[in-house]
Amino acid sequence: MSTTSMRVSARRANFHDVRASNLGLIMRNVRLRGPSSRADLASVTGLNKATVSSLVTELIERRLLRESGSAFGNVGRPAVLLTVDTSYYAAIGIEVNVDYIALVAVDLDGNRLLSWRRSYTGFDVDPNRSIAAIAALTQRAMATMDVEGREVLALKVAVPGLVDAEGRVRHVRNLGWKGVDIAAALREVLGYPPYPIGVDNDANLGALAEHRFGSHAGTANLMYLTGEYDLGAGLIIGNYLHRGADGYAGEICHVPVTYEGEARQVGDVASIKSILQSLTGTNPSSVAEVEADLEEVLTRATQGDQETVHKLSAIGSSLGEALAAACDFLNPEVVILGGHYVPLAPWILPTAEKALQQRARALDATGVSVVVTSLDREVAALGAATGILNEIDAGSVPTPLGRAA
């Protein structure tokens, strides 16, 4: 057992890496602590004051921090306070689904600058039509940001399907996309804009939004279930998004469950698509039908229709069985349900929690909470924008246009 057979897995740091990660460290500290002096930052980061001054100067030049007033201490000159510069950059997140496209733009502190949602019929359309629709919405957002004097930091697109580790869309079942390079296509249609364009899975991005902005922000281990047309899970593990070896982590659909005594897979029982099919007998094929079917189910449930309430409760139970397997495996602090699960929660959450508590082996101690999202709709679009902001914390700092890098 010698060391020679081991792969060198530790990331090799070099000067550039160290500088970048220290820039990210300063940004993260200012973001989480609020207004801070250079001396505060030196104290909390353990970096020396000259280094902090140099990092702060660079971050101000890059339009990421700004000076904002002073704090008077006990002795000496008042200290200048630094805060996140929310005036210059905008991060744009877009969410494409079978029944809508949503766009969210945020400043560097996560305040919403734009929050748009438009209906859209994405069922099995030519991917070029979807790309044109995304591009049109993006151009409108770019124009608005331009008027406000803001630079677009990056654009990220959330899709309800498999995205590989390099950001290529491998498969989006209901949109009929297979092997489409959305980012490359968008770059072309948008005329090669100066900002980066990325793609990720909607559940992954939803989990990022919850981890930064949700009611359980900062929770080390959380699972987010999309509750859009198909069922997907995004996993935060140890405060990081877990993508897995090939970027496919969080595929929960195929977990075996029972439904009314029969062996099924959870995706065929408890996805929104399956819920609507089993409760209305139809197979929605346009946005109007998804929304109308959901409306009908909610009306029936609210009026106490026995069959509806019984079915929703049985579906909740199946969902809870799948959550038990997932929670035994991952032991998260919380499971957050998003999308269309939010209005359905009164009828599915109690049985889901009950099945989870009964089935999970390892939860005798503290248990896991199952909650609905506290975020507005467009969680995945917000998550896409969050993904862009997180890259700054990780040390990937932008250079404003018109300045040499």
Which positions from 98 through 117 interact with a copy of itself, judged by CB under 8 A? 106, 109-112
Cα–Cα distance for residue pair 36/257, rounded to 1 Å: 51
CB of 346 to a copy of itself, least distance (A): 25
Closest residue by Cα to residue 227 from 45, 85, 11, 378: 378
Cα–Cα distance for residue pair 107/387, rounded to 1 Å: 13
Restricting to residues 285-314, name those near a copy of itself by CB under 8 A: none
Our CB check for a copy of itself shows the closer of 21 and 285 to be 21
Query: How far is Cα of residue 114 from the mean position of the Cα atoms in its chain?
Result: 17
Q: Which residue has the tokens 């993006």?
A: 138
324 residue type, one letter: A
Cα–Cα distance for residue pair 27/42, rounded to 1 Å: 13
CB of 252 to a copy of itself, least distance (A): 6
Our CB check for a copy of itself shows the closer of 47 and 125 to be 47
Residue 363 engages a copy of itself in binding (rule: CB under 8 A): yes
What's the distance, Cα to Cα, between the start and end of the chain in Å?
A: 47
Restricting to residues 120-179, name those near a copy of itself by CB under 8 A: 162, 164, 170
CB of 32 to a copy of itself, least distance (A): 5
Restricting to residues 46-65, name those near a copy of itself by CB under 8 A: 46-47
Beta bridge mates, 159: 201
167 CB burial (10 A radius; 0-12, 13-18, 19+):
middle
CB of 390 to a copy of itself, least distance (A): 12
Residue 87 engages a copy of itself in binding (rule: CB under 8 A): no
* Torsion angle of C-alpha atoms 290, 296, 299, 303, degrees rounded to 10: -140
CB of 18 to a copy of itself, least distance (A): 3
Our CB check for a copy of itself shows the closer of 58 and 251 to be 251
Residue 362 engages a copy of itself in binding (rule: CB under 8 A): yes
Structure tokens at 282: 């139809």
CB of 76 to a copy of itself, least distance (A): 21
Residue 17 engages a copy of itself in binding (rule: CB under 8 A): yes
CB of 9 to a copy of itself, least distance (A): 3
CB of 270 to a copy of itself, least distance (A): 15
Closest residue by Cα to residue 269 from 328, 304, 324, 314: 314
Our CB check for a copy of itself shows the closer of 212 and 273 to be 212
Restricting to residues 27-46, name those near a copy of itself by CB under 8 A: 28-29, 31-34, 43-46
Cα–Cα distance for residue pair 212/384, rounded to 1 Å: 12
Cα–Cα distance for residue pair 306/344, rounded to 1 Å: 15
Restricting to residues 213-242, name those near a copy of itself by CB under 8 A: 213, 217-218, 220-221, 233, 235, 237-240, 242
Our CB check for a copy of itself shows the closer of 249 and 292 to be 249
CA R_g for the chain: 23
Restricting to residues 330-349, name those near a copy of itself by CB under 8 A: 330-333
| Stretch of 3-11, 57-65, 94-102, 140-148 lying at the interface with a copy of itself (CB under 8 A) | 3-11
The 3-state DSSP composition of the chain as helix, strand, coil percent (nearest 5) reads 40, 20, 35
Judged by CB under 8 A, the residue of 135, 225, 368, 380 near a copy of itself is 368
